Amino acid sequence: MNWNRIRDNISPTRLQINKFNEVWMLVWTLFLVVVPLFIVSGLLWKSSLLLENHTLKEIIFSSEWKPMSGKFGFLPFIMSSLWVTLLSLLIAAPICLFSAIHLTQYANRYVLRFMQPVIDILAGIPSVIYGVWGIIAVVPFVAEKIAPMFGVQTTGYNILSASIVLAVMVIPFILNILIDIINTIPKELTEASLSLGAGKWYTIKHVILRKALPGIISAMGLGLSRSFGETIAVLMVVGNVAAIPSGIFQPGYPLPALIANNYGEMMSIPQYDSALMFSALLLMIIVLFFNIGSRFLIMSYEKRFK
C-alpha cells in the first residue's frame, strides 16, 4: 500500500548498501553448498586410478593387503571399523538412553545444573586426550582385569579397548541429541496419559519411548557415523594389525587409522596413494549415508509434532 512511499524515504545509499550486502552474502552462502561437492569430486578423481585397475568387488571383498605388489583388499579395514563402531555403540547406547530419560524426566534442577557442564566438557575434550586416557587407563584395565576373566592373554591394544574409548567419546554426542529428542515430545501427550491414571513409569514406557523411537534410532545412527570417522584416539589403542579380527580381544586396523598411518609416506607409488584416497572416499560415503538417513528420520520426526 504505502510501501513505495516508505521505500522512497530510505536514502539510495542505504538501499545500495543493502543490495551490496545481500549479493556478497549470497555468494558466501553458495560457497557452503559447493564445499561438499568439491570434496567428493576431488576424492573420486584421486581414487579413479585404483578403480580403473581393480573392480569394486575385488577392492571391498578381498582381504589381501599388499600395496607393494598392487593388491588392495579393504576387507580387514572395513571389518575392523565395523567391529569397533558397533561394539562401541553397544556400550554407549544403553548408558545414553537411561541417562537421557533420567535427565529429562526425573532429574531436578541441581542435577541438571551439574550434568550440563559435565556433558559439555566431555564433548569438548580433544580426541588425543581420550587416546592418552585409553593408554593410561583402559588398555591396562582390559589387559589385566577383563581379558583374564575370559581366559585370554592380550596386550590390551585391541578392539575392546578401542570400543570403550570410542563409547566414552560418543556418549556426550548421542546424549545431547537424545535429550533434544525427548524434549520435543509435546507436554500434552504425557499429560493426557497421566490424567488417564497411568503412572509415571508407565507413561515413559508407553508414550515417551514409543513416540521417541524414530528419534532414538536416528540418534544412534548419528553416533555410529561419528565414531566411524574418529581417528587419533582409536589409532592409539586399537593395535593396528591388518587382518580381519576374529574376536574382541584381537587387534584391528580401522579405515581412518589406515589413512593416518600411511598417508604422506607413500606418495611415490601412485596406486597406493590412490588406494588411500579411496579409503577416504569410502569413509566419507559410509558416514554420509548414516548421516543422511538419520537426519531425514529426525526431520520427519520433528515435523509430526508441529
Strand-pairing partners, residue 66, are: 71
Q: How far is the CB of 107 from another protein (least distance, A)?
A: 7
Distance CA 219, CA 266 (A): 37
Binding of residue 248 to another protein (CB under 8 A) = no
Residue 205 contacts residue 105 (beta carbons within 8 Å): no
Alpha-helix runs per DSSP H in 54-203: 56-61, 75-101, 109-124, 127-133, 139-141, 147-149, 159-183, 187-195, 200-203
Taking CB under 8 A as the binding criterion, the range among 10-18, 55-63, 142-150, 155-163 that sits at the site for another protein is: 10-18
SS3 247: coil
Residue whose CB is less far from another protein, 30 or 57: 30
Site residues (CB under 8 A) for another protein, limited to 63-122? 94-96, 98-99, 101-103, 106-107, 111, 114-115, 117-122
Identified binder of another protein from the candidate list 143, 276, 297, 301, rule CB under 8 A: 276
Q: What length does the chain have?
A: 306
Q: How far is the CB of 114 from another protein (least distance, A)?
A: 7
Identified binder of another protein from the candidate list 80, 225, 240, 250, rule CB under 8 A: 225
Residue whose CB is less far from another protein, 63 or 261: 261
Identified binder of another protein from the candidate list 89, 160, 212, 277, rule CB under 8 A: 277
Binding of residue 305 to another protein (CB under 8 A) = no
Cell numbers representing residue 267 in the block: 606418495
Residue whose CB is less far from another protein, 57 or 303: 303
Q: How far is the CB of 250 from another protein (least distance, A)?
A: 21
Site residues (CB under 8 A) for another protein, limited to 147-206? 168, 171-172, 175, 199-202
Residue whose CB is less far from another protein, 75 or 125: 125
Identified binder of another protein from the candidate list 17, 56, 90, 269, rule CB under 8 A: 17
SS3 239: strand
Distance CA 245, CA 83 (A): 8
Distance CA 189, CA 187 (A): 5
Distance CA 192, CA 188 (A): 6
Cβ burial of 262 (10 Å; 0-12, 13-18, 19+) is: middle
Binding of residue 22 to another protein (CB under 8 A) = yes
Distance CA 47, CA 152 (A): 40
Dihedral angle at the C-alpha atoms of 274, 280, 284, 287, nearest 10 degrees? Answer: 140
Number of residues counted as binding another protein (CB under 8 A) = 89
Identified binder of another protein from the candidate list 73, 76, 131, 245, rule CB under 8 A: 131
